[in-house]
C-alpha cells in the first residue's frame, strides 16, 4: 500500500504598522476557509508588527489558492504587506529532540551592536539556533534575552565556555540557564549581607571604630577571596574588636550603605510571593535589624558576645561559615517545601560559594575574581535588581508591579 501524500504547509508572513484587530481579521479569514493553523508567532517592535502563521492544507491543497487570495486582499485593506512561502514536508530531523537554553545579556549602559554580532556568531558557531530574542528593558537595549536550542544535550556547557570570554571583552554580563519550568517558578531568594545587600563589610567598619581598620580589612579581603579559612579568620578578626562599645554597632547600622536596587528587588520578589532570607557570616545584630527593615522572612548571622555593653572579642558558637550557610539554605527550603531548583542565592565571597552552588540559581554579585570563576553565574552590575532579568522579568513588568505597591 502506498504511503499517504503528506499535507502541505504554507508560511504566511505579515508586516506593517500595528493596530488592534489585525490578528483577529486574518485568523477569521483562515477559520472561515476551514484551514488549520499549525504554528503562529507575533512580535511588535516600535509599533511595527511582524506576524508569522503556518497553514496546513490537506493533500492536494485544493483550497490553498482561495484562502491565500482572501488573505492578500484582507492584508491590503489594512495597509499591510503579506507574503507566503510553501514549506517542505516535515522530515525526521524536524522531530528530533532539541535542548533549549536561555542566554541573558546585560550591559552596564547598553548592549552594543558589535557585542550582539559577536555573541550571535559564537552561538551559531557552537551549533545553536536562536529561536527568540526579547528586549527586557524599555528605554535602551541594556538587556536581551535569547532562547537558543541545540540537538546536543551537553552543548550548553561548550556554549558557555565560548560566550563568557566574548562577554568580558565587551563588558557584558552573560548568563546561560536551562530553559525549564524551574527557571520561571522560583520561590525563595537568599541574600548574603556584606558587599551584597550592603556595599561594605560590617566587620571592617567596626574595626575602624576600634582602631584596627588596616589589620582587619586585610584579613577580610583575603578571607573573601578564599585565601584564609573563614572560621579561623572570623575568630581572629572578632578578637580585635574586644572592648568596642555596643553603641558603636548601632551607629554602624544607621550608616550602612545599601546596594542600589536592593530594596526594589526585594519588594518586587515579595510582591511575586517569594520567601526571602538573609544568611550572613557577619553578625545577627545587623541581620535581625535588616530583617525587620525589609520585612524578610528569615535572618541568620553569627552572634557577637556582648557583656556590660562591651564586645568581649568572642563569637558565640556555632559559627556560620560557608557550609553553615548552605545548610541553613537547605533547612529553609525544607521548611517551606521548596525544591532547591526553585531557590536563588546571591553572594560575593568565597564563604558564599557552597550556598551559591546549592541553589538552583546561584549568583556571584560583584564578587572577587576567584568567586566569579567558581560560581555558575556572575553579575558585575551597579544595581542589585538587575538580577530580575535573569528571571525573565522585564523592566515593564517591574514598573507595573511597583505601581501596585
Residue whose grid cell is 562577554: 167
User: 134 forms bridges with which residues in the sheet?
Assistant: 145
C-beta separation of 127 from 195 below 8 A: no
C-alpha cell at 246: 555596643
Q: What are phi and psi of 163, to 5 degrees?
A: -70, -40
Alpha-carbon gap, residue 235 to 284, rounded angstroms = 15
C-alpha cell at 125: 558557531
**H-only helix segments in 78-154:** 113-125
152 C-beta neighbours (distance < 10 Å), count: 14
Does the active-site annotation cover 194?
Answer: yes
Within 13 Å of residue 146, how many CA atoms lie on the same side as its CB?
A: 18
Of 173, 192, 348, 385, the catalytic one is 192
**H-only helix segments in 170-299:** 181-184, 202-209, 213-224, 230-239, 246-254, 262-271, 284-294
Go through 236-267 and write b for each residue having 16 or more CB atoms within 10 A of its CB, e for each that does not: ebbebbeebeeebbeebbeebeebebbebbbb
Residue whose grid cell is 556555632: 318
The continuous run of DSSP H or E covering 29 comes out as helix 22-32
Of 137, 194, 321, 352, the catalytic one is 194
Q: What are phi and psi of 254, to 5 degrees?
A: -65, -25
Report the catalytic residues. 192, 194
Amino acid at each position: 500500500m502506498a504511503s499517504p501524500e503528506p499535507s502541505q504547509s504554507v508560511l504566511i508572513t505579515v508586516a506593517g504598522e500595528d493596530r488592534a484587530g489585525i490578528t483577529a481579521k486574518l485568523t477569521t479569514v483562515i477559520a472561515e476557509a476551514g484551514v488549520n493553523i499549525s504554528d503562529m508567532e507575533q512580535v511588535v517592535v516600535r509599533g511595527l508588527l511582524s506576524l508569522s502563521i503556518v497553514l496546513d492544507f490537506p493533500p492536494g491543497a485544493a483550497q490553498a489558492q482561495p484562502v491565500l487570495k482572501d488573505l492578500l486582499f484582507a492584508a491590503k485593506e489594512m495597509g499591510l504587506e503579506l507574503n507566503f512561502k510553501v514549506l517542505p514536508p516535515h522530515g525526521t530531523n524536524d522531530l528530533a529532540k532539541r535542548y533549549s537554553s536561555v542566554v541573558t545579556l546585560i550591559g552596564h549602559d547598553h548592549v552594543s551592536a558589535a557585542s550582539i554580532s559577536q555573541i550571535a556568531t559564537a552561538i551559531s558557531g557552537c551549533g545553536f539556533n536562536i529561536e527568540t530574542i526579547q528586549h527586557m528593558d524599555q528605554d535602551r537595549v541594556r538587556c536581551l534575552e535569547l532562547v537558543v536550542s541545540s540537538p546536543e544535550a551537553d552543548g550548553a556547557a561548550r556554549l558557555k565556555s565560548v560566550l563568557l570570554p566574548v562577554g568580558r571583552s565587551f563588558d557584558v554580563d552573560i548568563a546561560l540557564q536551562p530553559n525549564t519550568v524551574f527557571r520561571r517558578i522560583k520561590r525563595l531568594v537568599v541574600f548574603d549581607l556584606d558587599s551584597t545587600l550592603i556595599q561594605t563589610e560590617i566587620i571592617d567598619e567596626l574595626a575602624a571604630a576600634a582602631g584596627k581598620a588596616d589589620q582587619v580589612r586585610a584579613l577580610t579581603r583575603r578571607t573573601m577571596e578564599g585565601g584564609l579559612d573563614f572560621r579561623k579568620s572570623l575568630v581572629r578578626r572578632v578578637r580585635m574588636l574586644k572592648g568596642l562599645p555596643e553603641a558603636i554597632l548601632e551607629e554602624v547600622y544607621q550608616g550602612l550603605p545599601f546596594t542600589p536596587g536592593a530594596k526594589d528587588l526585594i519588594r518586587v520578589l515579595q510582591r511575586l510571593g517569594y520567601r526571602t532570607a538573609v544568611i550572613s557570616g557577619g553578625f545577627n545584630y545587623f541581620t535581625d535589624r535588616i530583617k525587620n527593615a525589609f520585612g524578610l522572612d528569615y535572618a541568620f548571622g553569627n552572634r557577637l558576645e556582648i557583656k556590660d555593653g562591651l564586645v568581649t572579642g568572642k563569637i558565640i558558637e556555632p559559627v556560620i561559615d560557608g557550609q553553615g550557610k548552605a545548610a541553613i539554605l537547605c533547612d529553609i527550603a525544607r521548611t517551606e517545601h521548596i525544591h532547591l531548583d526553585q531557590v536563588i542565592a546571591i553572594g560575593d565571597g568565597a564563604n558564599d560559594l557552597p550556598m551559591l552552588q546549592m541553589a538552583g540559581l546561584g549568583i556571584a554579585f560583584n564578587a572577587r575574581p576567584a568567586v566569579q570563576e567558581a560560581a555558575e553565574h556572575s553579575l558585575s552590575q551597579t544595581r542589585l535588581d538587575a538580577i530580575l532579568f535573569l528571571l525573565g522579568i522585564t523592566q515593564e513588568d517591574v514598573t507595573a508591579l511597583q505601581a501596585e505597591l
